[in-house]
Amino acid sequence: MTDIRVQTGPQPSPERDVPVERPKLEHDLRAVRTLFDRLLTALCALLSLVAALPLFAVLWLLIERGATNFRLDMLWSLPPSGLDTTGGGFGNAILGTVYMVGIASVLAVPTGILAAIFLAEYGDGTRLAAVIRFAAKVLTGMPSILAGIFAYAMVVLATGHFSALAGGVALAVLMVPIVVLTAEQAIRAVPQKMKDAAVGMGATSAQVVMRVTLPTAMPSVLTGVMLAIARAAGETAPLLFTAQFSNYWLRLDRLEDTASLAVLIYQFSGSPYEHQIEMAWTAALVLVLLVLLFNIAGQVLAARSDHSRH
């Protein structure tokens, strides 16, 4: 509280009845500055409320339009064609999303964590580490569509096919900087004393990192990984250039177009057929639930590691 009030002493002063001219310290709404203060507070509260509304508006519409049409068999059916008015689902898209995010995680998570070890431990304070950190920050802000074009140039043009592999590479490009930056923070938060103790016991620096630093930092590292996965799972633009879309099941034995939830939503959102639009809403609900699940899992891990450290 910032209200400034006059402190009255414990005993009543002897000259209590004598009128003393005191500065007015109570908040008085007739004074311009206090009125201004209250008005700005109200405005700020109003703007914050407006900022919080979209989340609920999005979730509400997702539930209203997505949940009402939800049937369990959608999770293992192929997408409906324009002529179907009932049935169908997005099983292949869920599988495609999981598969591509899996490829991306395999590529990005170990890379990101090792790079973070360099930034936080071996290269700490060096110019090289500062430059790499800067590059990682710039990469987090890079438009995701450019990651897609990069993977298109690297993988699609080289192999001659759109594929889940290319999609995975594009998503990995987006995940790496997130994993690097969050893992670096997590590794830095490990108390120096623990590392010193391990060194004192005669551990080599590799042993310190693998047996002490990383295990201690792991919950927070995983928080970053969860955030990166959540981001990758929702990405659409990079997949348009790499995996495109498919109405059929994912095949592991060859490179070909692969479905994903995000691209399915994009394609069906512009469909002239009501049934496909309904399907887009239900797929969006499933995608958002998936993404929120990973986000909340990350938050829980973060909260737990905060808790254990105190």
Partner 1 sequence: MSTPSASLAQPPTAGERWMDLGLRRGAQALAVGVLVLLAAIVVEIGAVAAPAVRERGVDFLTSSTWDTNRDEFGILPHIWGTLYSSLLALLIGGTLGLAVAVFISQRFLPRRLELLLKNVVDLLAAIPSVVYGLWGIFFVIPAIRPFTAFLHEHLGFVPLFDERSPGPNMLASSLVLAIMVLPTMTAVSRDAIATVPRKLREAAFGLGATRWECILGVVLPTAATGVFGALVLAFGRALGETMALAMLLGNRNEFNVSLLAPGNTLAALIANTFPEAQDHERGVLMYAAIVLLSITLVVNMLGTAILVRSSRKAAGARP
Q: How far, in Å, CA of 305 to CA of 298, rounded?
A: 11
- Within 10 Å of residue 190's Cβ, how many Cβ atoms? 21
* Residue 70 near partner 1 by CB under 8 A: no
The CB-side HSE value for 77 (13 A sphere, CA atoms) comes to 14
Among 75, 194, 197, 210, binds partner 1 (CB under 8 A): 210
CB of 76 to partner 1, least distance (A): 22
Q: Please, which residue, 108 or 250, has the CB nearer to partner 1?
A: 108
Among 226, 187, 227, smallest CA distance to 210 is for 187
Identify the DSSP state of 82.
T
Q: Please, which residue, 73 or 124, has the CB nearer to partner 1?
A: 124
Sign of the CA dihedral 176, 178, 179, 182? positive
Q: Scan residues 91-110 and list those touching partner 1 (CB under 8 A).
A: none
> Position 24: which residue type?
K
Q: Please, which residue, 4 or 18, has the CB nearer to partner 1?
A: 4
Among 260, 206, 241, 233, smallest CA distance to 108 is for 233
Among 149, 189, 199, 255, binds partner 1 (CB under 8 A): 149
* Residue 115 near partner 1 by CB under 8 A: yes
User: Which residue's structure tokens are 């519409």?
Assistant: 61
Among 98, 118, 161, 199, binds partner 1 (CB under 8 A): 118
CB of 18 to partner 1, least distance (A): 26
Q: Please, which residue, 13 or 41, has the CB nearer to partner 1?
A: 41
- Within 10 Å of residue 161's Cβ, how many Cβ atoms? 14
Q: Please, which residue, 92 or 244, has the CB nearer to partner 1?
A: 244
Q: Residue 303 corresponds to which tokens in the numbers above?
A: 């909260």
Among 204, 211, 249, 251, binds partner 1 (CB under 8 A): 204
CB of 15 to partner 1, least distance (A): 26
Q: Please, which residue, 90 or 241, has the CB nearer to partner 1?
A: 241
CB of 14 to partner 1, least distance (A): 29
* Residue 81 near partner 1 by CB under 8 A: no
Note whether 224 and 182 are within 8 A (CB): yes
* Residue 259 near partner 1 by CB under 8 A: no
* Residue 189 near partner 1 by CB under 8 A: no
Identify the DSSP state of 14.
T
* Residue 190 near partner 1 by CB under 8 A: no
Q: Residue 16 corresponds to which tokens in the numbers above?
A: 């209590």
Q: Residue 145 corresponds to which tokens in the numbers above?
A: 């569509």
Contact region with partner 1 (CB under 8 A), list: 7-15, 55-63, 72-80, 217-225? 55-63
Sign of the CA dihedral 193, 199, 203, 206? positive
Q: Scan residues 226-245 and list those touching partner 1 (CB under 8 A).
A: 230, 233-237, 240-241, 244
Note whether 156 and 241 are within 8 A (CB): yes
